[in-house]
Structures are given as C-alpha cells and as structure tokens.
Chain A
Amino acid sequence: MKSLITFILATITLAACHDSRKLTPAPETIFDDNGLHVITSFHNDRTRTISVLYGNDKALAHASQEQFAHTPGVATRGVPTPGVATPGEVFKLVTWDLKQNPLWFGSNINGGLQTVETVTVSAGESGPAISYVLENPTQKNGKNAVSSNAERISFIFAQRASVFP
C-alpha cells in the first residue's frame, strides 16, 4: 500500500516537473513599427522564416491596388498611378526565424528577428529614385544575400495587401 502511494505521488510529481514549457517573454523580437501600417505577412517552411511587410500610407495604398503589378516606372507628377512607384512610399519588410510554437504542436511562430529591409521611393531628377537598405540585426548570413537588391525591391513591390475587416 505504502509503495503504491509512493508510486502515485512520484508519478504526479514527475508529471508536474515534466514541463519543458517553462517560457519567458522575448519582447526583444517585437518590431517597433514607428506608426507604419501592416501591409501583409507570409511564412516560408523552406527558409524557416516568417515576415511582416509594413508601409506608410502611400505604400499601403499601392499594395492595395489590385490589377497592376507594382513595378517602378515613371510617375505622373503628383498623382499616384497604378503600377508606378510613387515618391514618398516607404516599405519595411521584417523577417524573423520561424520556429515551432512550444505551446502548440501544429503552429509555427516567429522567433528571433533576422533582417529588416527598407525600400524608400523618393523623387529623383528623372523619375522616382528607389533606395534599398538591408539591416541585419543578428549579423546572420542572411538568406537574402543571394538575391540582388533589384530582385528584393521587385519582390517587396509585388506584395499585395492582406484583407482586413
């Protein structure tokens, strides 16, 4: 009888201690958007990354247009034209590691911050000037390194805005 009680107690204790889910918040992974809007998000099982694309009003407006690919071109002065980069647009593509959610098998959640890519469209002398800056907070060998800046800019411009209520 005594051994049975010991067995039961031991099992319960073991069950209670068997908790690999002891977690603490990791607020350093939260991106400070400085008032930018969320445009869209996507994840990739091959690269094990998850990304959120942010942008200012103009960037969101362009990503919300449906029919035209958002490729750089010559803008009509002052009027945002579908398919044309408009001076003033700012995009930030933030990419995190993708990891399994320790609290739910079947869900993948962002881990540490990997990169922040910023695309800024400004007015140049002969049309919009586009700048691309890659920040690599973790100094990891970013997977983006294999793509050229132009490819990354096109990729970011090609994203369509997610539908929000």
Chain B
Amino acid sequence: MNALKHNRYRNAIALFAGLLFTSFVVLQVNSPRIENPPVTSEFHGPEEVTRILKRSCYDCHSNETNLRWYDKVAPFSYKVAADVEEARKRFNFSEWDSIPKADQEGKLWYIVNMIDAGRMPLPEYAATHPNAKVTPAELTILKNYVTSISHKHYAAGDTAAIVGKPKVTHTPTSINGIPYFDDYKNWKVISSTGRPDNGTSRIIYGNDVAVKALEENNILPWPDGAVIVKVVWNSQAPDADGNVKPGNFNNIQIMVRDAKKFAATEGWGFARFNGLDLKPYGKTASFATSCINCHQLAKGTGFVFDIPTRVVR
C-alpha cells in the first residue's frame, strides 16, 4: 500500500517535471526574436554624449539591440522583447529623424529627465545589466549637452511684438471633451515658470478646489474637480538687465481632475489649445497617453509638475 502511494507520488513528480520541461522547451522554441532593422537616420551628438547613450539606451531604443545570452532565455526573453518593442515605439535613436525636428530637442530633455529621476534605464534592466547605468558624472555631461543646444531658442528670436488680441468667437473643445474657457483668468496663480529647455515662460493657475488641495496638502490624490491651467508664451531674449519676458502666446494647457472619467490617465484629463486661434491638440484621444507618460515623473505631487513645493526632510 505504502509502496503504491510512493510510486504514485514519484509518477506525479515525473509527470510534473516532464510538463515543466516540455513547456520550457516550447517556450524556448516560440521565444520571440528581436530583429535589428536597418539604421535609417542615426542620432548625431558629441562623441562623449553618443557614447553614453549607446551604452545605456541603445539596447532598447535603437535598431542596434545587442542582447546578452540571458536575455534570450524564456521566459525572460518575452519580457525583453516586449520592452524593446515598446522602447523603439517611444523613440528610436536609429530612426531619429522620424521625430519632427522641432520635437527632437524636447525628446532629449525628456530622456535626461527620465535618467535624472532614476526611471531610465529601467531599474530591473539596470540591475541585470549594471553596465547600462548612467553615473552622476555622465548625467552631468548629458545635462550640459541639452542645456547647450537649447540656447539656440533665443537666437531664433521668437520675440514678435505683442499684438492686439484676436478674440476666438467659438469655444474650441479637445477631442476628449474638455472645452477651452476664460474663467481661469479669475483664478489664483499657483506658480510661474521659466523654461530654458524649450524657451517658454509660463503662468499656472489653480481653481478653488486645486488651491484648497494645496493648502490642505491633499494632493495624493488630488480631489475631483481640481483644475489646473497653464498659459505658455515663447520667451523673448533677455533684456539688458537679464529679464526674460514673454513674447508670442504659444498655447494653453488644462488638467481636469476626474478620477473615474480619466482613470486611464491616472485620473487627469489633459487638453491643450495651440496658438491664438486655440487649435485643440491631439487627433485621437490617445494623445493623453503621451501626456501622462511624461507626467509620471511628477507622481510624488499627484502627477502635476508646476506646483509650489518644498522638500520633505
């Protein structure tokens, strides 16, 4: 009786091991292969910059993916393949010109900020590929680089004289249903920013719900009904005293808090209206995905970048 039981037990283990081995083999056979399509328009930067990017970013964000043997073993290979596919979709250093010229600088600032925040290279990737880590000294090189290229904004001289205000007669509405409105002009300014990275000056307004949330430190999460409006101007070149004043109106951005309605984007609805004719930004509702992807960097302040803060010690 005992022997029978023992035998059954042994058979079960053998069967289980067999199953496990078979699925392992099947997984290996079906393991995704990562192809390296041709490099069509490579990113060009100073040598010390491209060296860092190549080592830390290119395994996923380029067509020069160089996988280690352990990246190719299932089940890890599935995760690696999915990550590379997603990474190339976000941006690809081998197809750099697929990003409009005007957006390339912004993308570089975004890359530097993702590294600065410790979000890139992905922590789990960096743990298994220690060589990919960006050292503080290297981060400084990258920061200096993006800072140096962005001074060009001033040279471009986007400083047209302030002109009369052509009033928009209709109410433009974003594809996700958020309409433009004028009432923010009666709200409190919660912060103002100067952006050397993209040559803009901004004023950020909050409605009563948003201001109250700040006063009560109730922003994790922000309460429903909070609305934040950001007005963006192109910066003029500094005057003789160093004052950088707003020039042309650029766009207006609105964040509306509704945890249920905008659950897919962390509870925030995004809208942007470009130019004085307030053209709604975004052809499909999915534009908000790229908004929240970037706003993830401000997770600690409820996904809002421009609020007055102090560091918790």
Question: Which residues of A pack against B, CB within 8 Å?
Answer: 7-8, 11-12, 15, 18-27, 29-33, 35, 37-38, 40-47, 50, 52, 66, 96, 98, 101-111, 159-165
Q: Does B307 contact A (CB under 8 A)?
A: yes
Question: Which residues of B pack against A, CB within 8 Å?
Answer: 109, 112-113, 116-118, 123-124, 126-128, 143, 146-147, 150, 161-165, 168, 180, 185-186, 188-198, 201, 203, 211, 214-215, 217, 219, 231, 233, 238, 241-246, 248-249, 252, 273, 276, 278, 297-298, 300-301, 305-312
Closest to B277 in A: A165
The one of B113, B127, B186, B311 in contact with A23, judged by C-beta atoms closer than 8 angstroms, is B311
Known pairs A103-B297, A106-B113, A107-B194; list 13 more (Cβ under 8 Å).
Answer: A11-B123, A11-B127, A15-B123, A24-B309, A25-B215, A25-B301, A26-B309, A27-B215, A40-B246, A46-B241, A106-B147, A107-B195, A164-B165
| Residue contact A106 to B305, C-beta cutoff 8 Å | no
| Residue contact A106 to B188, C-beta cutoff 8 Å | no
Closest to A31 in B: B189
Q: Given the complex, which residues of B lie within 8 Å of A18, measured CB to CB?
A: 118
In the bound assembly, the distance between CA atoms of A95 and B54 in angstroms comes to 43
The one of A32, A42, A109 in contact with B245, judged by C-beta atoms closer than 8 angstroms, is A42
Q: Given the complex, which residues of A lie within 8 Å of B238, measured CB to CB?
A: 44-45
In the bound assembly, the distance between CA atoms of A102 and B201 in angstroms comes to 17
Closest to A63 in B: B162
Q: Given the complex, which residues of B lie within 8 Å of A103, measured CB to CB?
A: 297-298, 300-301, 305
Q: Given the complex, which residues of B lie within 8 Å of A162, measured CB to CB?
A: 162, 231, 233, 246, 249
Q: Given the complex, which residues of A lie within 8 Å of B298, measured CB to CB?
A: 103-104
| Residue contact B214 to A27, C-beta cutoff 8 Å | yes
Q: Given the complex, which residues of A lie within 8 Å of B308, measured CB to CB?
A: 25-27, 29-30, 109-111
List, sorted by A's number, 15 A–B pairs whose CB atoms are closer than 8 Å: A11-B123, A24-B310, A24-B311, A25-B214, A25-B308, A29-B191, A38-B203, A40-B246, A104-B197, A106-B112, A106-B113, A108-B194, A163-B165, A165-B165, A165-B252
| Residue contact A106 to B242, C-beta cutoff 8 Å | no
The one of A8, A26, A31, A50 in contact with B310, judged by C-beta atoms closer than 8 angstroms, is A26
